[in-house]
Amino acid sequence: MTVQVRAVTPVDLPGIRAISRATDQPDTESGVEAAYVELILTIGRAVAARGSEVLGWAGEVPTPSGTLLTDLFVDPAVHARGVGSALLRAMWPAPAGGRYTFSSKHPAALPLYVRAGLVPSWPLLYLSGPADRLPLGVLRVDRVDARTAAAAVARLTGWGRPRTPLFEYWTRADDATALVVRDGSRLVAAGVGSPAVLTHLTCPDRGMAAGALYAAVAALGTAAITFALPGPHPAMRTLLACGFRIDDFDVHMRTPDVTLPIGGVYSPGLG
């Protein structure tokens, strides 16, 4: 089988959508959604493997913690035929630091990333539960626009590249809102959520992580919520005691120089 790997172009979008559906990806924040692929092309890059049609695709974006491999998906009909390896070589042609991803539990995925120099770290746990049973937060939460939230994250992380297009994408739905969390006048966290999902929360201060999470969830004003947390997140035991359940998990894979803060809420595709 002849495989050509090249930069994604608009002609690849229907094939990327078909592969994303075939691999059970959600309707949003995945290759099912053209706006998601276009976002990756705007802030990062993406490649497609083609034979007579799209066989797979991969994307990456820069983040404050390093380069995040957002996606690597192959048509199930051509699994175990070297397409995934070809895609990863095109994305990462030489060993380097500053790389990470959230790997699925697919038996081909973990070995692929280990061979690329990544090591398993902690599980990214997908939780859902009763928001109204969480402790009452004492931190102040303000609803802000995407640009303000992106600037707040840049300030919190010390990364001088506000991810404004990302926050604009996250807040495109009418019920989505960007948030900043403060302890008095001190900025402690910033993120994005909707009544059903807390999509992202940056909180570098581990000591403030649980309180920031509770406050952000309370500000969304919902009875039930879902989010993805690092396994070692300081709020984990409290969440389970309050009736939250772990629905699934991915594996955080990283080069040894990457340290991803454990106090955040992560989007598995966009960090």
- The predicted model gives 86-107 an average pLDDT of 92
Give the DSSP H or E segment for 225. strand 224-230
In the chain the domains, ranked by start, together with CATH numbers, are 4-94 (3.40.630.30), 126-254 (3.40.630.30)
DSSP for residue 23: T
- The predicted model gives 134-148 an average pLDDT of 94
Q: Residue for token digits 């049609």?
A: 53
The per-residue pLDDT for range 11-53, each reduced to its tens digit, is 999 999 999 999 999 999 999 999 999 999 999 999 998 877 8
Tell me what pLDDT residue 1 has: 67
Compute the chain's Rg from CA coordinates.
18
CA 221 to chain centre: 23
How long, in residues, is the chain?
Answer: 271
Task: Give pairs for 83-88: CB < 8 Å, separation 24+.
Answer: 83/3, 83/49, 83/55, 83/56, 84/56, 84/108, 84/112, 85/112, 86/3, 86/5, 86/49, 87/5, 87/47, 87/49, 87/56, 87/57, 87/58, 88/58, 88/112, 88/113, 88/116
DSSP string, 64-78: TTEEEEEEEEE-GGG
**Residue 4, both tokens:** 């050509």
Tell me what pLDDT residue 78 has: 83
48-82 CB burial, b ≥16 within 10 A, e <16: bbbeeebbbbbbbbbbbbbbbbbbbbbbeebeebe
Distances (CA, A) of 81 to 49, 75, 95: 12, 11, 23
Tell me what pLDDT residue 80 has: 76
Percent of the chain having pLDDT more than 90?
A: 88
The per-residue pLDDT for range 43-95, each reduced to its tens digit, is 999 999 887 789 999 999 999 999 999 999 999 988 877 899 999 999 999 88
145-167 CB burial, b ≥16 within 10 A, e <16: ebebbbbbbbebbeeeebbbebb
